[in-house]
Amino acid sequence: MYQFSYSEVQTDSVADARDRERQLLTRSIDLLASAREHGPRSVQAVEAVLFLNRIWTTFIQDLGSAENELPGELRANLISIGLWLLREAEQVRLGKSDNFEGLIEVSQIIRDGIQ
């Protein structure tokens, strides 16, 4: 039988959480790329915007939580970025923007920065 120390389990849990975050952002990027190809009024655009909204709403809630162990300045910066993504996605949803490229680029930067 295997025995793991608390720190090993906690480290694995953090690594697993980071991996899930990267996977969610990759999925969001893929959906946004498809939406870019099909246009802002496509089913793909609706799906991409809804997915982005779900994950960033969750991320922002987690970043605002007192239990989140990231440094405060990093958390504040990520919340600001998340709010921008949500606002920009809303502009796409309303037909006032087709800035899929900006949403993709910012999402890639965040995904690639997760360690």
Question: Does the residue 73 lie in any domain?
Answer: yes
Question: Does the residue 90 lie in any domain?
Answer: yes
Question: Does the residue 4 lie in any domain?
Answer: no
Model pLDDT, residue 115: 78
Name the band, by pLDDT with cuts 50, 70 and 90, for residue 1.
very low
- How large is the average pLDDT for residues 11-26? 87
**Is the pLDDT reported for residue 2 higher than 70?**
no
Question: Does the residue 34 lie in any domain?
Answer: yes
Question: Does the residue 98 lie in any domain?
Answer: yes
Question: Does the residue 36 lie in any domain?
Answer: yes
Q: Where are the alpha helices (DSSP H) in 39-99?
A: 43-63, 72-93
- How large is the average pLDDT for residues 25-30? 98
pLDDT tens string 63-111: 999 999 999 999 999 999 999 999 999 999 999 999 999 999 999 999 9
Task: Tell me how far apart the alpha carbons of residues 95 and 73 are, in angstroms, rounded to a whole number.
Answer: 33
**Is the pLDDT reported for residue 6 higher than 60?**
no
Question: Does the residue 6 lie in any domain?
Answer: no
**Is the pLDDT reported for residue 4 higher than 50?**
no
Task: Tell me how far apart the alpha carbons of residues 60 and 62 are, in angstroms, rounded to a whole number.
Answer: 5
Question: Does the residue 17 lie in any domain?
Answer: no
pTM as predicted: 0.86
Model pLDDT, residue 12: 56
Domain extent, residue 56, equals 26-113
